[in-house]
Every structure is written in structure tokens, then in C-alpha cells.
Amino acid sequence: MVVAVLAALAAVLLAPASAHADTGSASRGTVRHGLSQPDYSYADAIREAVWVDTGLDGDGDGRTDRVAVDIVRPSEPAAAGRKVPVIMDASPYYSCCGRGNENQLKTYDAAGKIVQAPLFYDNYFVPRGYASVLVDLAGTDRSDGCVDVGGPSDVQSAKAVVDWLNGRGRGYSARSGGHRVTAGWTNGKVGMIGKSWDGTIANGVAATGARGLKTIVPISSISSWYDYYFHQGAPLQDGPEWLSDYVESDSAHASCAAAQQKIIDGSPRTGDWTPFWTARDYVKDAGKVTASVFAVQGMQDLNVRTKHFGQWWQALAAHGVERKVWLSQTGHVDPFDYRRTDWVPTLQRWFDHYLLGVDNGIQKQPMADIERTVDHWTTDRVWPPAGTHTAALSLTPSATDGLGTLGTKHATRGSTESFTDDPNLWEEDWAAAADTATPAKTAFTTGVLTKDLRLSGGGTFTVTATSSTTSAHLSAVLVDLGPATVRNFLGNGEGIKTLGTRSCYGESTPGDSACFLDTAADTTTGDHTVFSRGWADLGHYASLAHGVPLVPGKPYTMTIQLAATDHVVPAGHRLALIVAGTDGGLILPPDTTPKVTVDLAHSVLRLPLVGGTGALSVRAGAAPRTTAAAADGTTAFRPAPAPSGTPAARLG
């Protein structure tokens, strides 16, 4: 048996003082210091495959689809007649792409029973009295049906399994035919977990109000698929048909042409909101969520951006859902790979409470853990923290065109700033030249801060602008101007580097090791940090339902949503708002190359500041350095490279 010494130590150290030293009952094994103990053998666990009927016929073959469900569960409770809860990860990635930092795939023995279950959930939690359930979404791996990219088929793939686990669905011993199989071994309490698409499905199932789903742990997960492909009309990447084609099994490729065409027809690249997106919007159904939610998000995730977390969190809060959050400085990274020794016991305590009923106080602990600087975490009792209020900041011009001031003073009527869209540049180019007048952006900065300024939540930028052409895309970027060492979220590891050593979490078998490659923070030091951004197509100023051609020279007003974050701009630094066109590598350019003029008197930045407007305190007379651009628009600053690959290619 290989047991993680570090995890065990962390479990003891992090146990709440009020937790009972030990308990036991007929429904669970030993509990010590508020945590379930590894009483059961992973080597002797029961491994089985079941195919669950979804009630849908996505591939149109005349029979309802069955999704493959691989199960690893402890044998001892089954022999004693005790029922166990379920930790479930429903994924499209088990055969095409792999899960986790090591891209683990499912493997099987000659009888078709699972040998390697990716990630540590089975190794760690099965000995502690849980069943690990891994579901292949419809159209992937060993499942029937077709991938529909977050739509009814995807969600029903997992919901049908929750229903089966609670005695409401039908399971079979084979993909076609076989005998009926029931889940009499479980108490029906299900927790769903997963990163990216996997966690997205957890959001989707929770939004159906599925009975028996007690908690979800979505990690860097989508809350509305429109917002993955567009941001207020501005296209972020190619359409969803690419993604469905990428994960579909060979058999699905052969039978899902009609379903693929429906995806293409339902998601035109116009940026218009269609019924296709309504069916993939989980935020609107947040009122149906009865499961608790432990959300995890990388604040520098440029793949599944923090808008997804922010709008989901806000909707859950409005409906009183029990929730918790971890916010890291990483990109699209699992907490197992940036805070492992804290993550595992915290996750265990969460599951123990909501699935085993252990009274360990997890729900009373601080709601939010936030990575304030690299590997340094702070907590908040609630999030956003008490005292957070929206502050309105105005934009005023300076003596240098293209540069202005951000503060509480209002611009005079008729004040404007202009820029010309340049799709070859992106936010890092703009931020590096924040104090330099360049043709492709305009920047507004505060004076030097005399005290820390904390932003907590999602802001907005209401802009009144005219375009010289019939189309224009807008970007609004918040920048912390000042030296800092941060996680290198633009690097290959998106803020982590993988080491050659391993640490173990749970028990191993010859085919499924509980030992995973260790990681460490990958850091970089610079003179600026982009920490929030938002984009929009000005043609969608009136409605997402239908974009319109712009009338050149006519002013339009639009409010751009800025991604949720929690960032402290330290005293001695400055806060900047950069307004520009195409954020190269992150949004696609419009079909024209406009010159955009911003009406400063009718534009306003609203930010969630801890302490409200009074928290903004700047040093009097501290003017930023300004530099004129060269004739070709270049500056002495060295721009960072644009991110490689499209977000679609990096979803997992």
C-alpha cells in the first residue's frame, strides 16, 4: 500500500479543533479529526462497467443511446451490506486526449474492466469508502450517441448516470444487449468533479436540479457556452464543430454527420445569440441548483476565462447556494498541480461533509482562498469580501494624444481619444507601452497609489464610441503598472513547471499508480500585469440577439463586461485602463480596419473596490512618464509573444 505521507500530515494539521477525534457508523468507515480514513483495500476493489440508457437517440440509429460507466468501488462495504457515496467525473477526454498533467487515459483488461482510472480520485477516495465513477460522454470512447458540445446530449449523458445511481434509470451489462444492472451498492449521494469540459458538465447537471447530486467541484469550467466562443458578439475562436470533431470516437464520426451539421447551423459566426446557445446556458437555470458548489478558477485562465466563474458565482449567490471558491494566479491548471498538499485534504473534507455527512466544519470555514502572490494564499469569510462597493472612474485626456488619466474627475464635453485597430498586437503589447502614445490603443492611468487598491469581482466599462467603418471590435484591459513577480501564466505550463519527482496520494495497483509527478511554480518578473479584460463587437451594442452594421461616424454606447478577478494593485503602483480594438490571439478581428473614437465624457469605468471610491488614493503631482511613438508605431518596449494555439485546442 502506498499512502501519501504529506497528505496524511496535512489532513491532521488542517483538521478543525472542534472536530471529533474518531467516529464510526454503519454507513461509513472510521472518521478521525473530521476526515474519513483509508479502511478499505484499493487492490481488492470491485471494478465493473455498466452502460446507462440516456433516453436519447443522438446518432439516429433507432435505439436509445447508452453511455459507458466505469466503476471502482470498495468491496468491504458491499460485502457488509453498507452503501457508499459516489465521486463522479464525466468526460469526453478519456480516450482521445487524457486527463491531468500527465494526460492519463483509461485502460482496460481483457474482460473490459477498467485498470487505470485517470487522476487520483479512485486511488485516494475508494479506500476511504467512496465509489469512483468515470463516465464517457455520449459520442466518445465506449459510449453511443453524438457529442453536442455542452448541449442536452452532453448533460444528459451524466444526468442519466445520476438517475441510475438513484434507482431512476436503466443500466445494462453491455453496450448493446446484456442484462439489467442496478446500483444497489450506493446510497445515491453523488459529487461531480472535473476540470474544463468535465467540470462544465457538472455545472450543467447541477442546473437541471438532478436529485441525488449533492455537490459539484467545477475546476476552470464553462457556465455558458456562448461565452466560450464569443464575448458580447466578438468571436473568440473557431466554432464548436471543431471541438466535437476532436473528441468524437471513430464510431461517432461515422454516424454523427447530421448532429455535426446541427452544431454548425446553430452556431453561426455572426456573434448573434441563437437557441443553440440558450440550450447551453447554465447560468439561467442557477435557481434549480440544489447541490453545494466548490468552484476553482485560475484568474489568468485565457482558455476558460474568469467571466464563466464570475457570472456563475453571482447567479448561485442570488439563489442562496452553499458555495466555496479557490482563485489562483495560474492559467488553465488543476489545483492538484499548484497546491497539492492543501488541495487533497480540503477536497476530502468537502466530500466527507456533503457525501458522508461528517460534521467537520468545512461549511463554516472561510468561503474564499485567494493566491495573493506566488504560493502565498489569503482567505475571506465571504467573497466578494464585505465592504466591496462599485466605484465609478472617469476618463480624462492629457496633453499627449492617446494617453489620459483615470480617476474621479469628469472629462469636459467633447473630449475624445482615438485609435486604429491593429490585429497584429495584443494586450501584452499595449500594456508594455502603457505610458507611450501608440496608434493602436489609448491608455488611461491613475497617479501613483498611496495605499493598496483591491478589486474583487467583475467590473464594467461603458463606452460611447464611433467607428470609421461598418464594423469594430473593442477591448478593455485592466493593468497593474509596477514591478511584480507572478506565475508565468503565458508559459507552456500556464504557471507551473513539472518536476521529475513524484508524490503519492492513495493506494496503487500494478496498472494504476497513486504517485504523480510533482510540480512547482513557474514565475516571471515584469513591470506590468494584465489582470482583467473584456471584449465586445460594437455592432451588438443594442442586443446580443442580432448584430448590425455600424453607421460610420455615428456614436454607439455599449457596456463591456470585465472578467471577474481578485487583485491588489499595491501602493507605489498605478492602475491603467487600456482601450483598443482587436486583442490579437484572443479575439478575431472585424471584417474592416476601423479608426475608433471614444467619447470620454460619456464613458465610465465601474470597478468593485474593497472600500469603494474612497479606496482610490493617489499621490498628488505624480505624473506618468510619456513617450512619443516612432513613426511606424513601434516603441522601445519588447512585446511578449501572443499565446500559442487557439483556446478550443486547449480546452482540456
What amino acid is encoded at 45 in this protein?
A
Give Cβ neighbours of residue 110 (< 8 Å, ≥ 6 apart): none
What amino acid is encoded at 97 in this protein?
C
Confidence check: pLDDT of 89 > 80: yes
Give the integer Cα–Cα distance in Å for 633 and 559: 29
Residue ranges of domains in the chain, CATH in brackets: 5-380 (3.40.50.1820), 388-612 (2.60.120.260)
Q: Kindly report whether the peptide bond that precedes residue 384 is cis, defined as omega within 30 degrees of 0.
A: yes
- Mean pLDDT (whole number) for 58-67: 94
State which H helix or E strand residue 192 sits in.
strand 186-195
Angle at which helices 5-13 and 340-351 cross, to 10° = 60
Confidence of residue 19 (pLDDT cuts 50, 70, 90): very low
Nearest Cα to 485, choosing from 371, 332, 618?
371
273 grid coordinates: 445569440
Give the integer Cα–Cα distance in Å for 318 and 311: 11
Give the integer Cα–Cα distance in Å for 417 and 395: 10
399-446 pLDDT, tens digit per residue, is: 999 999 999 999 899 999 999 999 999 999 999 999 999 999 999 999
Q: What is the pTM of this model?
A: 0.92
Q: Concatenate the DSSP letters of all residues of 486-543 into one string.
A: EE-TTSTTSSEEEEEEEEE-S--BTTB-SEEEEEEE-EEEEEEEEEEEEEEEGGGSS-
pLDDT of 238 reads 82
Please check whether residue 374 is in contact with residue 329, taking contact to mean a CB–CB distance below 8 angstroms: yes
CB atoms within 10 A of CB 65: 25
Please state the φ and ψ torsions of residue 477, each to the nearest 5 degrees. Answer: -130, 130
Confidence of residue 635 (pLDDT cuts 50, 70, 90): very low
547 grid coordinates: 448584430
Return mean pLDDT, the chain: 92
Residues catalogued as catalytic: 196, 301, 332
Please check whether residue 537 is in contact with residue 475, taking contact to mean a CB–CB distance below 8 angstroms: no
480-503 pLDDT, tens digit per residue, is: 999 999 999 999 999 999 999 999
Confidence check: pLDDT of 633 > 50: no
User: If you ran DSSP here, which 8-state letter would residue 353 be given?
Assistant: I
152-194 pLDDT, tens digit per residue, is: 999 999 999 999 999 999 999 999 999 999 999 999 999 999 9
